Amino acid sequence: MSIQTLPDEAFAIPFASPSYPRGPFRFYDREFVIITYRTDLDALRAVVPEPLEIIDPIVKYEFIRMPDSTGFGDYTETGQVIPVRFNGRDGNYTPAMYLDAAAPIVGGREIWGFPKKLAKPNLRVEGEVLVGTLDCGSIRCVNATMGYKHNILPLDPIRKSLQQPNFLVKVIPHVDGSPRICELVEYYLEDLQLKGAWSGPASLQLFDHVRADVSRLPVLEVLSAVHFVTDVTLGMGKVVHDYMNGAAG
> Which residues are designated catalytic?
116
110: which DSSP letter? Answer: I
Beta strand 58-69 pairing with 25-38: antiparallel
- Give CA–CA dist 124/141, Å, rounded: 17
Which amino acid appears at position 246 of this protein?
G
Chain centre distance of CA 167:
10
Whether 100 contacts 66, CB under 8 Å: no
Cβ 158 vs Cβ 226: under 8 Å? yes
Rg (CA), the chain: 18
Sorted by sequence, the CB contacts under 8 Å of residue 173 that are 6+ apart come out as: 179, 180
Q: Side chain identity at 34, as an amino acid letter?
A: I
DSSP structural state of residue 247: B
Distance in angstroms (rounded) separating the CA atoms of residues 133 and 129: 13
Bridge partner list, 149: none
